[in-house]
């Protein structure tokens, strides 16, 4: 008696090979994300960055109601503010001959109000976009996606430091510094997106993670070491199915978190 062996579908090697670059990309991006965010907590250079600490240097502030360049020198729980000429960036003069004031003074009897000092700088960040909102198309509803991605941000940043002091009943003075930043610029990077028959009008029959190139503009806010913001971007699928993907070249809105690199 001859036993019939049911015919089986050949092993889908072609499909696996097609998806292999995307899988490798996912693993690489995950590794980079882990390393970068670990460095946020352990890297000494980041902890000492002037974007996070109110360090000695040239700032802008208001002195007697006028915006001026000042040089800040930290002295334990006090700061010495030197008035300098407008536009001076590198000081090669003797600070002993420059007009200065020390805050707080020993004669201060009440809480000293907040004084603000700010700096402007060029900014480089690594950002990831954990959530993307994609508007509806003619045949597909609105989507909220959370695919893996990473991008480099380039922009112009303003860092502001609010310095205030309080004196307790026994005369001890404590310093309080509040730091926040604002930045606007552009992003470019790579990510993944879900590809399936539903978002390609049934022009493909498999499901996989496609690789996309992301570009756009961003507005970022910083409080202490934490950076977050909004990104308006456009995604371009980088494989042959880009002509079928509903969101090819279409705008999206994303929520971003970032790590400062300079």
pLDDT in the model for residue 68:
82
Q: Is residue 62 in a domain?
A: no
Would you say the pTM of this structure is higher than 0.85? no
Residue 253 lies in a domain: yes
Whether residue 96 is contained in a domain is answered as no
Q: Is 164 left (phi over 0), alpha (psi -120 to 50) or beta?
A: beta
Q: What is the pLDDT of residue 51?
A: 58
Domain carrying residue 32: 13-56+109-260
**Contact between 35 and 41 (Cβ < 8 Å):** no
Looking only at the bridges linking them, the beta strands covering 226-237 and 100-103 are unpaired
What pLDDT is stored for residue 179 in this prediction? 86
Stretches where the chain sits below pLDDT 50 are 2-17, 20, 31, 35, 38-48, 87-98, 106-111
Q: pLDDT at position 196, please?
A: 93
At 205 the pLDDT is 93
Does a structural domain hold residue 70? no
Give the start-end residues of each E strand in the chain. 57-63, 66-75, 78-83, 100-103, 112-134, 143-145, 149-167, 173-195, 208-223, 226-237, 251-260
Q: How many distinct structural domains can be found in the chain? A: 1
Q: Do 124 and 154 meet the contact criterion of CB atoms below 8 Å apart? A: yes
Three-state DSSP at 38 gives helix
The token pair at 191 is: 């990510």
CA nearest to 127, candidates 262, 260, 7, 8: 260
Rounded to an integer, what is the distance from CA 174 to the centroid of its chain? 31
C-alpha pair distances (Å), 156 with each of 18, 60, 136, 181, 249: 40, 16, 33, 10, 26
CA dihedral 40, 46, 52, 58 (to 10 degrees): -160
Q: What is the pLDDT of residue 41?
A: 44
Is 209 domain-assigned?
A: yes
80 within domain boundaries: no
Per-residue pLDDT, 22: 53
> Positive or negative CA dihedral for 31, 37, 41, 45?
positive
Q: Could you give the angle at the alpha carbon of 9 between the alpha carbons of 8 and 15, nearest 5°? A: 155
| Beta bridge pairs of residue 80 | 73, 102
């Amino acid at each position: 008696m001859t036993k019939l062996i049911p015919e089986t579908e050949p092993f889908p090697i072609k499909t696996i090979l097609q998806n292999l670059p995307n899988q490798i990309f996912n693993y690489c991006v995950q590794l980079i994300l882990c390393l970068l965010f670990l460095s946020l907590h352990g890297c000494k250079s980041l902890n000492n960055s002037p974007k996070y600490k109110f360090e000695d240097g040239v700032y802008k502030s208001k002195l007697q109601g006028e915006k001026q360049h000042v040089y800040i020198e930290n002295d334990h729980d006090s700061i010495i503010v030197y008035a300098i000429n407008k536009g001076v960036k590198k000081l090669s003069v003797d600070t002993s001959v420059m007009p200065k004031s020390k805050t707080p003074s020993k004669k201060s009897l009440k809480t000293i109000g907040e004084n603000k000092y700010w700096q402007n700088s060029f900014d480089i960040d690594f950002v990831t976009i954990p959530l993307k909102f994609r508007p509806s198309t003619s045949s597909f509803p609105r989507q909220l996606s959370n695919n893996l991605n990473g991008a480099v941000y380039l922009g112009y940043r303003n860092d502001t430091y609010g310095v205030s002091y309080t004196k307790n009943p026994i005369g001890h003075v404590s310093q309080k510094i509040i730091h926040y930043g604002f930045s606007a610029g552009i992003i470019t990077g790579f990510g993944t997106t879900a590809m399936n028959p539903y978002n390609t009008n049934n022009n493909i029959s498999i499901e996989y993670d496609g690789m996309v190139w992301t570009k756009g503009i961003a507005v970022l806010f910083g409080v202490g070491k934490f950076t977050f913001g909004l990104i308006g971007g456009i995604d371009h699928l980088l494989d042959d199915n880009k002509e079928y993907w509903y969101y090819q070249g279409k705008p999206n809105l994303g929520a971003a978190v970032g790590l400062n690199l300079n």
